Amino acid sequence: MIKLEDYKAPEFKIASVHLEFALDPEATIVTSTLKMVSDSSTLTLDGDELVLLSVELNGKPVDHVVTPTSLTLNVPFTPFTLVIKTQINPTANTALSGLYRSNGTYCTQCEAEGFRRITFFPDRPDVLTTYTVKITGKEPLLLSNGNQLEHGVWHDPHPKPSYLFALVAGDLGVVKDTFTTMSGRVVALEIYVEHGKEPLCAYAMDSLKRSMRWDETAFGREYDLDVFMIVAVSDFNMGAMENKGLNIFNDKYVLANPETATDADYANIEGIIAHEYFHNWTGNRITCRDWFQLSLKEGLTVFRDQEFSSDMRSRPVKRIEDVRLLKSAQFAEDAGPLSHPVRPRQYAEINNFYTATVYNKGAEVIRMMKVLIGEKAFADGLDLYFKRHDGQATTIELFVKCFEEVAERSLDIHSRWYEQAGTPLVRVSTEYEGGVLILHLEQVLREGHLPQSLPLRVGFLSPNGEELFEETITLDQFKGRFIFEDFKDEPILSLNRGFSAAVNIDYGRSDQTLAFLATHDSDDYNRRQAVETYALKVLTKGADAAPFIALYGKLIEESPRDPAFYAHALTLPSEEDIAREIGANINPDAIKQTRNTLVVALAKAHAERASALFHTLQTGAFSPDAASAGKRSLRIALLRLMVIEGFDASEIYMNADNLTERFGALACVVHHGNVATRDKLMADFQARFEDNANVFDKYLSLTGMKASVLEVKTMLQGAVFTKFNPNRYRALVGVFAMSNPTQFHTKAGYDFLCEELLRVDKINPQVSARVANAFRSYKSMEEPRKLAAHEALLALSKHELSNDLKDIITRMLA
């Protein structure tokens, strides 16, 4: 177990590193030359699955001790040169960590601890040095970080930690462009993809240029090398990686055209290109001292990419989407055995802490800090952070200190958000008499936790729906009492507008008040939240459905005003959302049935109206912009009601000129249509996209959401799965486990997943550990499901497992 309190600064410095790669698919030779000085007489370097060929100190062979994970030798107190030669097998590297081959292209993934699978090195983020890299091989393309000195020789002038190292070698097509920075420097932009896929890079390139401009105008951050490269590969464990000057991407987040990418894909490409680019400052120029500080770069960079997408698209709709993701991924994680603070204090396997808590809750902590200290102090604090820590590996404390200094106030209470796991609950009650309203708030945290600062934006509405005023209050004690005066009538409160505090709210509001807020609140986030809260009351507390159904009709009526917003407002909570609301003794079958009853009642009442609107909402020629995407998402929301009421969506599917509508229609039919139409359209979709892996993954996902265990097993036997690929696997098995609760949460479902985890763990431990996260809510299931899950996990834990999977299973069972 690695612990934060055990952190020790390194006792040595690396002045420079020179790496030579003699590429070979099965026997690549890596020669690493380190110029070092050490305050200690022994030096221990990290390694993982390396074949050590030789070690030389100042030109002479030297005694050393090598283990599977380390290389130790004695070193002088004077500056010395260490030359280490290792051999690696990129073809056999199915873990996709370190140097590996994807479709014949050599590529690397070094975060968090992949560099030690390339050479022996102090593989920790606080060891920064400058890299010169020489690559020899027969590939026409030989890329690494920094600026190119000659073919295959690269120098990165910016000191960086090893996790930001990258190498790519292969025969790829390229799309080129340029960007002129705010100081007038011209930067070459290059996106590398498989030959023939160049036309699919236009949106990614456009997103990159907009990201570069936005980071200059919004944060004053300019790019700092002569070239910025993106390489898209088809085998990748994550979304993308921010290696200095040479980002490597899962190709599903680069390639797009209207026939093969949905609006969600376009939005993801824009957001992820931006995220990785923004890391150049928040992550690369300023990095983490140790991996406990991961949220220093990830929370901040998620915050930045959310702001970018908000500026590019509709800010309220982006907020609705971000919070839905936060609740489904992070709140669920925080409510189960994998719960951990934004800054964990210990870990057994760092790969398992690339979580929604570190990323998304981390971004919320920064967003709340902005509300607490105000926009001006927030901007000044960030400027100070960039100035003070440029070129350093630093900590969350020192980040927060920048804001404390400019705001001239302590943020100690706020900083507890980093240390205390769990989602705070705020209990709310009010008293009203003679024009005075008293608001009582209480924050409920885990036992032993101290109060956190909760900034709550509160709107006050008159009973006829007028906006009276808005105020931001901060609850930073367990209990707070806030008094508001001079009302003519008792006001209606819109609490936690924009989800200003990342909390759950317990405020027993009547159905009438929720319906009132759903139609009158001036805050879009809360307007939609009112609909969701109302729907959850109907679905989990037996509230009368009839008035909700009437409200839903009103929303449909209003929907052309702001299609993107109403598409969200008309989307009912998912089965997983409902399960989270119930919290204990969950019965997925009952949830599915209750939800279905409401869905059918809504369709019965409103399909006709939906149909009339559907046909008037024309979207015109395809454009990926947010307004057009909003219209398409509303059309799909309306189409769902029509299909439930028996409408045949085949023609919509067949005539669609873009994937959003085609796939949207297919999904409506698969979830709600008749079997004959479903089989016909699924067969058509399969035939159409069999040769396009990323689109075919959507077919697999749709299958995973509905299939039985037996059907998933059968699909896994198919040709598409003969070679392991993370995207394919997550699309079918990952989606089955995460988004098919009635089939997964059964003894057969649990047993199947555990068998699969055991099998895949031998191929790719990061993927098996990630998919195992599907068990995170098993303790809130009803019996005998809970027991069956426990037994399946216990049986799995008796096998020899990777560190990644073992860590997850151990925490699950604790």
Q: What are the residue numbers of the active site? A: 276
Alpha-helix residue ranges (DSSP H) falling in 355-445 = 356, 362-373, 375-389, 396-407, 412-419
Nearest approach in angstroms of CB 302 to Zn ion is 7
Nearest approach in angstroms of CB 301 to Zn ion is 5
Contact 114, 163 (CB under 8 A): yes
Nearest approach in angstroms of CB 252 to Zn ion is 17
User: In the structure encoding, which two tokens stand for residue 57, read together?
Assistant: 């100190």
Nearest approach in angstroms of CB 125 to Zn ion is 13
| 3-state SS track over 71-133 | EEEECCCCCEEEEEEEEECCCCCCCCCEEEEECCEEEEECCCCCHHHCCCECCCCCCCEEEEE
Listed in sequence order, the residues at least 6 apart from 305 whose beta carbon sits closer than 8 Å to its beta carbon are: 271, 272, 274, 275, 278
Alpha-helix residue ranges (DSSP H) falling in 673-744 = 675-689, 693-706, 709-716, 726-729, 735-739, 741-744
Phi, psi of 177 (to 5 degrees): -155, 180
Spatial strand order in the sheet of 98-102: 98-102, 105-109, 167-170, 141-144
Cα four-point dihedral sign 626, 628, 630, 633: negative
The site for Zn ion, by CB under 5 A, has a size of 2
Other beta carbons within 10 Å of 22:
15
Nearest approach in angstroms of CB 285 to Zn ion is 14
Listed in sequence order, the residues at least 6 apart from 490 whose beta carbon sits closer than 8 Å to its beta carbon are: 432, 437, 463
The nearer residue to Zn ion, 146 or 362, going by C-beta atoms, is: 362
The nearer residue to Zn ion, 298 or 761, going by C-beta atoms, is: 298
The nearer residue to Zn ion, 243 or 474, going by C-beta atoms, is: 243
Listed in sequence order, the residues at least 6 apart from 722 whose beta carbon sits closer than 8 Å to its beta carbon are: none
- Half-sphere exposure of 69 toward its Cβ, with a 13 Å CA cutoff? 1
The nearer residue to Zn ion, 243 or 301, going by C-beta atoms, is: 301
The nearer residue to Zn ion, 166 or 760, going by C-beta atoms, is: 166
Binding mask 597-616 for Zn ion (x = CB under 5 A): --------------------
Other beta carbons within 10 Å of 436:
12
The nearer residue to Zn ion, 245 or 459, going by C-beta atoms, is: 245
Contact 736, 744 (CB under 8 A): yes
How far CA 24 is from CA of 115, 169, 170, in Å, comes to 18, 11, 12
The nearer residue to Zn ion, 275 or 580, going by C-beta atoms, is: 275
Distance CA 775, CA 759 (A): 17
User: In the structure encoding, which two tokens stand for residue 811, read together?
Assistant: 């925490």
Nearest approach in angstroms of CB 272 to Zn ion is 9
The nearer residue to Zn ion, 298 or 562, going by C-beta atoms, is: 298
- Using CB under 5 A, which residues numbered 282 to 321 contact Zn ion? 298, 301
User: Under the rule (CB under 5 A), what is the footprint of Zn ion?
Assistant: 298, 301
